[in-house]
Amino acid sequence: MASKSSNLAILVVSAPDAIDTFVHAGRLFLKKSLNRKSYHEPYVRGVKEKTSDRLSEVEIFRRAAEDGKGILLCTNLDDVNEEVRLFADVVTEIPKPTPNQIIAAFRRCGHVLSRADREMIAAETWTRLVYAFQPGRPLQSGLRRLRETERRTAEPRPTALSSGPTLEDLGGLGAAKDWGLELARDLTDYKAGLISLRDVDTGALVSGPPGTGKTLFAEALARTCDLPIVVASAAQWQACGYLNDLLKAMRESFRDAQSRGTALLFIDELDAVGSRAIADSQHGDYKRQVINGLLELLDGFERRSGIVVVGATNHPENIDPAILRPGRLDRHLVIPLPDARTRQQIFKFHAGFSVPSDQEDQFNRWSEGMSGAGLEQLVRDSRRAARRGGAAFGFEHIVPVAKPLIDVPIEHMRVAAYHEAGHAIVGLQLGMELQGVAITDKVISEGVETLGGARFGTPTFPMKTKSYFLDHVAMFLGGLAAETLVFGEFTEGATSDPRSDLGIATVLATKVEACFGMGNTLAIDITAEKDLGRLRANDPELRAAVSKLLDDEFRRAKSILDQRLQALQTIAETLMERRMMNATEVNRVLESHPARKAASAGIDESNNRTRAGGAALNFQQDDVRTE
């Protein structure tokens, strides 16, 4: 500001509550610099948030230009109009005061700070410093007030969660754990001065079924990274009522995180914010303003101050795409329900001992489909039972609390065996990569879950043409086709749930006809998966097209199995005996039983559209999922 050629400045300060202090300092500076007895306010102004009043900012510099000096202060350069930036001679950032600057400021006033006082001052907010050091109040009095009220009224010092597991202690988190450990390494390098904040990930979206550990992941991430954590909820923001109250609560969560320096902001139930990609004639404008407010915060000064934002949802398909763009929550981390090995690890973590080797098979069976939260509750209930009985807690207390296993009737097992064999054969015939097929002879007594499944691999670069999707519809319907071919009709187990075989096939068929431009028209409807049923209900032509597509692919699957009837029978009988088969064994059966000419379906194998690849799918006889 001393140079005559640099007269008009934009200063970017580190914290929003520091603006008023810097505005006051700027006015004092200009008053002395201009050698004037009075100073008019318009020449120094703070911009705390985005505003539509851009002309007043330009007017500040125009007036200031007459006297040759002017200052505009903000916390984010994006809050300042581009025209105003062109007007300015200097645009620079003012970082948070260093320890040496704090010492020098107090020394200039004749006071030498102790190390404890210096650390206390460095950790305080600008607002509290202004309140403590009022004009005319001795420095010693201000310091004493801060010391006395520090524990009673100040925000807790930014420390990570003190107790609980770190990411290294947890299993079953998949890619989320890998990302979290990399983030911890980057933050360690940042604190050591090896990298800048721009090299640290800004955030991620974590999704998965209820109880899989999304909140536990965020807490463990904070401990692993040694970060303070601020927990917010988009649903709680929504509960604030009016739009202004919601936006205020949203901003407060970000400011809370920003005030703690480098911190983790965890936003639960992020899908409550909504998505502009999902049509909503009644609340569209409200939703748009909420999402725009969140995007502004994700792109604003909070992020430049070292805030890592982790959003969590059970429904990632309902997240606005703009929230997931680079620089925002640009990583999507899926936490699946734990597999058998992971369930044993989770059990050991909560119980403090491993599942006995002779009980592993039983444990794996009755814990199938359980989430980490469900296993934690199981251990907690079992430990309580042991405590009530005055006994030391052991695995023998788990068994009475766990849901008992019951034998699957032989006729149900036979249907399941043919059903899963049907999936396997149709998938293989259409070029998909089978990994294995299995059925079970025992299920838990409450809420019978799946009786079997066929697993297929995922190609790295699938060519998702119309034929690709139709092949998958046929494969999904392969279980029903096998039941119909062998028993004359199919059971409701693969049809009675949105995530059942028929439910998934219907979704794919609807997307082919309405969302991918692969049906009777190139026009597409961008619709959330949960709204596809309403789309079909409101469009009789679409419903008819989806029904025809499903009928065609059902007949195609049935034709494939009709030509492989001997192989179907052999695979089903093997599953009845051994409960599982790998891909090599299934292929060997197909090779030993060549295809015969279709007898009933009226479609020969030359019509089968074979495509390399497949999808990571679990095709189940009874796909009932409890949440």
**Residue-wise pLDDT tens digits, 476-485:** 999 999 999 9
pLDDT bracket for residue 494 (50, 70, 90): low
3-state secondary structure 86-120: HHCCEEEEECCCCHHHHHHHHHHCCCCCCHHHHHH
d(CA 459, CA 151): 57
pLDDT more than 70, % of the chain: 80
- For the cut 70, the answer to whether the pLDDT of residue 406 exceeds it is yes
pLDDT bracket for residue 156 (50, 70, 90): very low
pLDDT bracket for residue 74 (50, 70, 90): confident
Residue spans of the domains in the chain: they are 7-94, 99-151, 167-334, 340-402, 410-592
User: Would you mind telling me the total number of residues written for the chain in this entry?
Assistant: 627
Neighbours of 261 (CB within 10 A): 16
pLDDT, residue 419, reads 95
- For the cut 90, the answer to whether the pLDDT of residue 40 exceeds it is no
Instruction: Please provide the CATH number assigned to the domain covering 410-592.
Output: 1.20.58.760
Mean pLDDT of the chain: 79
- For the cut 80, the answer to whether the pLDDT of residue 330 exceeds it is yes
Q: Which of 48-52, 104-108, 146-150, 389-393 has the lowest mean pLDDT?
A: 48-52
d(CA 371, CA 351): 15
d(CA 407, CA 494): 20
Q: Which residues of 278-309 are buried (b: 16+ CB within 10 A; e: fewer)?
A: beeeeeeeebeebbebbebbbbbbbbbbbbbb
CB 617 within 8 A of CB 451: no
Instruction: Please provide the CATH number assigned to the domain covering 340-402.
Output: 1.10.8
**Tokens coding 198:** 């721009």
pLDDT bracket for residue 487 (50, 70, 90): very high
Fold agreement (340-402, 410-592): no
CB 509 within 8 A of CB 546: yes
Pairing of strands 229-233, 263-268: parallel
3-state secondary structure 215-232: HHHHHHHHHHHCCCEEEE
- For the cut 60, the answer to whether the pLDDT of residue 594 exceeds it is yes
**Residue-wise pLDDT tens digits, 91-134:** 888 877 888 888 888 888 888 888 778 878 887 777 778 777 87
Q: Which fold has domain 167-334?
A: Rossmann fold (3.40.50)
- For the cut 90, the answer to whether the pLDDT of residue 30 exceeds it is no
d(CA 565, CA 76): 69
pLDDT, residue 49, reads 52
DSSP 8-class letter at 568:
H
